[in-house]
Amino acid sequence: MSRKPEEASCRLTIDGREIVVAADTPVIDAAERLGIMIPRFCYHPALGAVGACRMCAVKFLDGPVKGLQMSCMVGARDGMVVSTTNPEAVDFRRQVVEWLMANHPHDCPVCDEGGHCLLQDETISGGHALRRYRGPKRTYRDQDLGPFVAHEMNRCIHCYRCARFYQEVAGGRDYGVLSIARRTYFGRYEGGRLESPFAGNIIDLCPTGTLTDKPSRYRARRWDLERGPSVCLHCSLGCGLTVGARYREVMKLEARLNPEVNGHFICDRGRYGFGYESRPDRPRQPRVDGRETIAGAALAALAEGLKPFEAGKVAMVGGTRSNLETLAALLGLCRDQGWRPPVFFRDARLAGAAESAAAALSGDLVASLADVGRADVILVVCADPLAEAPMLALSLRRAARRGAAVLVLDHRPCDLPCEAERLTFAPQELAGCLSRLAHAALRGRKEAAAYLSSLPLPPDLLPETALALDTWGKRLAEARFPLVVCGTDQAEPTLPALAGGLARLLAGSHDQDRRAGFLPLLPGPNGLAAALAGGGDLEALLADIEDGRATALLVVESDLLSRTPEPERWLAALRKLKLLAVCDHLPSPLLEAAHVVLPSRTVFEAGGHFVNQEGRLQRAMPVFSPGLPMGRTLREGHPPRLFMSCAPGSEPRPAADWLKDLAGLLGAGGRAGDWADLAAAFPGLPGLAAGPAPENGRRCLPETAPGADAPSVAKTGSPDVPPDHLQVLLVERTFGTEELSCRAPLLAASAPEPWVDLAAADAGKAGLAHGAWLLVPLPGGPLRARLRVHQDMAPGLLLLPRDPRLLWQRLAGTGVLVELLRLHAITAEEEPAGEDTTLEAEP
Amino acid sequence: MLPEMVKLRRKGEELLEDGLGLLRPFATTLGMLFTRPITVQYPEEKRVLPARSRGRIILTRSPDGDERCVACFLCSAACPVSCISMEAATREDGRRYASWFRINFGRCIFCGLCEEACPTLAIQLTPDYEFSKATIMELVYEKPALLVDHGGKDPDYDFYRHAGVTEKGEKGSHVNEQEPVDVKRLLP
């Protein structure tokens, strides 16, 4: 990065063509830049070279290295002359592929890799068309690696890509290499589910059919898939995906290379979080008062129904999982009709935190996921990376492997795949701790005076904790590239502003070529756009509906009832509404209560733009047209023998189109082109004006944030928690809690059993043991869940995941306190038989 | 010889050739009157076609009586007119099969590329050519109509005897396979 190209570049000749690359670039990479693809199995740009497969042999004719060499193992040097087509190299590669194929099990017809298999391609292109070896073949027994990865060891060519990824990149410990020489085996010590939440990447990495995708096993060939680039919606990072669909059903998602965001990999939540688009209970038909109708009639009924209302009594709720087009249409509708501004966030705290994070972001400060890997001191505040944005954890590991120091300040037992220092505080103490850290980092800096004076007072800390915070403050001040990560899901509204302000001042403390970064985690894939759009929060809206200040409600792609801690109160409020219209593609109890239902399309069918937490505008392409999956239309075991112009169940339309047509019926003024509308709806994202997103996205944030130099910070007071009481906090988990992926049948069926967390000190007081079944008395009724006890967790908290399999909605309110001694373990006879823990309301 | 003479002689030869050209077909026709006719009185009489002639397509079975097709999609990929469609699935016993398989004979050009592509010898063309229909929908054949109860042209081949997957037979039990490796053995 800082290396100057003149010093370190070198000129080499590959197949008669010259190229200038940085010194020590693997020759295989240099050739690829010329468009020459040297055959390879073990080399992968994200994993580096090991020289295991011997497939990338080329002939070095002149220069510092001579003779037949592996092009992945030789770094580029000045004056190298390389031939990839030299007869000696070609013959060598032909023989390599022949001996790699000697034990191949001859099962391509039933192998899912067939059609996109590197081994197939290299075998044919290497000229090995007929088997000469007639001896017995080596065989291996396979293992059951869990619900996502299918294992067929006979096909393995021992390239070590899977083990290198799993252990080095993802930090997993339960999968690797066993035995030696001819018996080398890739697997676990004993069969069982792969523990790493990034395990799915070994499917993409495996150049053969040894590791294949289990959910799409035996279902389709790559050449039959309708494929297109997309964006992951399961957190705010916006990782690149390639969607593969067949017969109106998503078959699989693969990682799409986006160097500044996810690199080559994605997490399993993103990879297997699909399937909600083909649920049998997905709304596919417009409905008015419970009767199915056609699109035009439903819209006309809605427009007619909205006319009698005063503009100030019509409210709209949007979701952060909607695409930018939908959000813009929603904002435009509210503005043109004079309705109340749309509501995106579940409560005032989250709305405040998201808005303060968005306000602290600017182009000069924001860090991409790739930047995390480049940082040398990383401060993670109020974020649980693995649960809220799993790919962030992978980036933190990348940074840690390069020598970065990572500090996590959080109240949860954050599990990270890398070495990190953990300091646990109660959520309301975090701002104070950050203040102590900031004082240590910015001591003696004149320009920081205003910021430091705005900080809350640090809480009373243990001397060693205070010392640790001071040490880390100094480390941040001395860092070459300090980075601050701040979550919003659990944060006090001012915390992201404090964290952003600290990052901004750290950046200011450096020379010109040094920098600092700020990476907030926002709620939902379009959380930044929603936060910039402002608006109220759902709690305030609920109060307004109860008081009759809002009498008509339009809900667009937002899960009111299944995400709120107060479903009963919401249901009662919804009954007071004179008009409730819902536009969504997820099934929810809200649809039953709605007067008008407009089925919308999922991201796979509608595509659209999304702005991730670094303000990067990215585009998802529509991959297939909506309709019932072929498998669900079979009659007598085969597709219906009919000629039809459209598929059954193809009524859903993009939510943005529904809203635009509604605006047309309501008599909106003249509209500019779609893209101009989009840019006008989000003045906080000036980069939108440049048009749709290019392949790897484009940052749209302003270069400097308005008023970013002096964050306006209100001092927060801590809530009074009586002694021996626990604050119940709703938290996210890697699997099973996120809004879309918890509706994905694959993840719902395989997510680990939900549990609640308690600090060891509290568990000791209440006499509760790790792994016990617990009965938690909540205001809405008792909740049964398995208990996990943690040493590294702030005391005074009970962490409850928003998992639909738990009855967490019995919380019936926010800020709920539970008396510690009223928690008790259930005896063996009382233990529920599984189905007891499922939520009846969840379809 | 004088040039005129040469010219005249050539002319005469041409005339003779032309005349013979007129008469020879009559002679052939006349001769054929006394040979056995090769015309077959179709449809009353039917010829037996060679086994490799390309007519109606079937799905054959392996020697153990199980269907051979593993729904690998190679036939549908090879088909130049895209008349083959199917959906692959996992059967209850774990093997890969086609949950439905459809050939549109209204579109099929009987080129035989599907048969060439088939790695399990499942899809085969038969000499049967007599299946014209009154409506085009009747030419769309589903799997039960395609699947026959014999092995077709190569009745002895069984893909699963050779492939090293466990669907039929454990690892190490297929043709030309060693016992599975014991990965926990410490000896070199």
Domain identity same for B82 and B146:
yes
Residue A307 contacts B where some CB pair is shorter than 8 Å: no
CB-CB neighbors (< 8 A) of A114 in chain B: 72
B27 and B64 fall within a common domain: no
Q: How far apart are CA A281 and CA A267, in angstroms?
A: 27
3-state DSSP assignment of residue A540: helix
Neighbours of A66 (CB within 10 A): 12
Q: What digits encode the pLDDT tens for the residues A636-648? A: 999 999 888 888 9
Residues B96 and B10 both lie in one domain:
no
Q: Compare CB distances from A138 to B162, B165, B181 and report the shortest one's residue.
A: B181
Find the CB nearest B87 among A152, A185, A630.
A630
Three-state SS letters, A337-398: HCCCCCECECCHHHHHHHHHHHHHCCCCCECCHHHHHHCCEEEEECCCHHHHCHHHHHHHHH
What's residue A71's pLDDT? Answer: 95
B110 in a structural domain:
yes
CB contact under 8 A, A638 and B165: no
Q: Does B94 touch chain A (CB under 8 A)?
A: no
Q: What is the pLDDT of residues A711-740, one digit of tens each?
A: 454 544 556 778 889 999 999 999 989 999
Enumerate residues 6+ apart whose C-beta is below 8 A from A303: A662, A665, A666
Contact A178, A189 (CB under 8 A): yes
Distances from the Cα of A79 to the Cαs of A14, A74, A288, B123, in angstroms?
A: 10, 13, 75, 56
In a domain, B172, yes or no: no
Q: Do B61 and B125 belong to one domain? A: yes
Return the residue matching tokens 């086994």: B51
Contact A220 B88 (CB under 8 A): yes
Distance of CA A737 to the CA centre of its chain: 12
Put simply, the answer to whether B185 touches A110 (Cβ < 8 Å) is: no
CATH number of the domain to which B74 belongs: 3.30.70.3270
Q: Is B72 found in the same domain as B3?
A: no
Residues B119 and B79 in one domain: yes
Contacts of A641 in chain B (CB under 8 A): 137, 140
A186: distance to nearest CA of chain B, Å?
10
pLDDT average, residue stretch A500-512: 79
Q: Scanning every residue of chain B, which has its alpha carbon at the shortest distance from the alpha carbon of A180?
A: B188
A108 inside 8 A of chain B by CB: yes
Residue type, A257: L
Q: Set out the domains of chain A in order of their start, with CATH numbers.
A: 5-100 (3.10.20.740), 298-345+529-629+649-687 (3.40.50.740), 351-522 (3.40.228.10), 725-837 (2.40.40.20)
Which run of H or of E encompasses A527? Answer: helix A527-533
Q: Is A177 on the interface with B (CB under 8 A)?
A: no
pLDDT tier at A675, thresholds 50, 70, 90:
confident
Dihedral, A136, A141, A147, A149 alpha carbons, nearest 10: -50
Residues of B in contact with A138 (CB under 8 A): 178, 181
At residue A651, the pLDDT reads 94
pLDDT, mean of residues B142-157: 94
Domain contains B43: no
Residue B119 lies in a domain: yes
Q: What integer pLDDT is reported at residue A715 of this predicted model?
A: 47
Best interface-test mutation with B: which of A116, A217, A218 has the largest number of B CBs within 10 A? A218
Cβ pair B164:A106 closer than 8 A: yes
Tell if the CB–CB gap between A639 and B102 is shorter than 8 Å: yes
Quote the domain boundaries for residue B9.
1-35
Which residues numbered 607-636 in A keep a CB inside 8 Å of some CB on B?
630-631, 634
pLDDT band at A291 (very low <50, low <70, confident <90, very high): very high
Which one of B88, B100, B140 has the shortest CB-CB distance to A218? B88
On whether any CB of chain A is under 8 Å from the CB of B159, the answer is yes
| Cα A685 from Cα A301, distance rounded (Å) | 35
Give me the phi and psi of A431, to 5 degrees please: -60, -40
Angstroms from B27 CA to nearest CA on chain A: 56
**Whole-number pLDDT of residue A669:** 59
- Closest CB to A247 among B87, B159, B181: B87
Going from the C-alpha of A82 to that of each of A30, A38, A79, A97, A248, the distances in angstroms are: 11, 12, 10, 21, 48
* Tokens standing for residue A548: 């009759």
A635 has a pLDDT exceeding 70: yes
Residues B64 and B144 in one domain: yes
Report yes or no on B49 lying in a domain: no
How far apart are the CA of B184 and the nearest CA of chain A, in angstroms? 7
B51 found inside a domain: no
Q: Is B114 on the interface with A (CB under 8 A)?
A: no
Give CA–CA dist A429/A352, Å, rounded. 17
Per-residue model confidence (pLDDT) at position A834: 47
**CA-based nearest residue to A259, from A366, A364, A370:** A370
Which chain A residues are within 8 Å of B77, Cβ to Cβ? 221, 223-224
B63 and B152 part of one domain: yes
Is B117 within 8 Å of B75 (Cβ atoms)?
yes
ipTM of the prediction: 0.88
Report yes or no on B180 lying in a domain. Answer: no
Q: Are residues B22 and B72 in the same domain?
A: no
Q: Residues A579, A585, A591, A597: what is their CA dihedral angle, to the nearest 10 degrees?
A: 40
A·B CB contacts under 8 A: 112
Residues with Cβ within 8 Å of residue A547, at least 6 apart in sequence: none
CB contacts, 8 Å: B164 with chain A: 105-107, 137, 139, 154
CB atoms near residue A367 (< 10 Å): 25
- Please tell me if residue B172 touches chain A, with a CB cutoff of 8 Å: yes
Asked if residue B76 and residue B12 are part of one domain, the reply reads: no
The Cα-based distances of B105 to A336, A639, B126 in angstroms read 57, 16, 13
- pLDDT score of A709 more than 60: no
Residue A241 distance to chain B (closest CA, Å) = 24
A138 touches chain B (CB under 8 A): yes
Alpha-carbon dihedral angle through residues B77, B80, B84, B86, given to the nearest 10 degrees: 20
Taking alpha carbons only, the member of A124, A153, A113 closest to residue A137 is A153
Using one digit for the tens of pLDDT, what is the confidence trace for A742-767? 999 999 888 888 999 999 999 999 99
* Range A73-90 burial, b when 16+ CB lie within 10 A, else e: ebbbbeebbbbbebeebb
Per-residue pLDDT tens digits for A91-147: 999 999 999 999 999 899 999 999 999 999 999 998 898 899 999 999 999 999 999
Write the burial class of residue A701 (CB in 10 Å: 0-12 exposed, 13-18 middle, 19+ buried): buried
Domain count, chain B: 2
B94: left (phi over 0), alpha (psi -120 to 50) or beta: left
Judge whether B102 is closer than 8 Å to chain A, CB to CB.
Answer: yes
User: B187 — contact with chain A (CB < 8 Å)?
Assistant: no
User: Chain B contact for A132, CB < 8 A?
Assistant: no
What distances in angstroms separate CA A792 from CA A411, A827, B14, B30, one per listed residue? 8, 27, 113, 109
**Quick one: B16 and B67 in the same domain?**
no
Contacts of A140 in chain B (CB under 8 A): 171, 180-181, 183
Residue B13 inside a domain? The answer is yes
The 10 Å Cβ neighbour count of residue A719 is 11
Phi, psi at residue A465, to the nearest 5°? Answer: -70, -45
Task: Say yes or no: B79 and B140 in one domain.
Answer: yes
Pairing of strands A176-178, A81-83: unpaired
Residue A725 burial (C-beta neighbours within 10 Å; 0-12, 13-18, 19+): middle
Q: The sheet that has A755-759: what strands, in order across it?
A: A817-819, A725-731, A797-801, A755-759, A781-790, A773-778, A824-825
Tell me the per-residue pLDDT of A294-342, one tens digit each, with 9 for 90 and over: 999 999 999 999 999 998 999 999 999 999 999 999 999 999 999 999 9
Q: CA quadruple A731, A734, A740, A746: dihedral positive or negative?
A: negative
Interchain CB distance below 8 Å, A179 and B140: no
CB-based contact, A134 to chain B, within 8 Å: yes
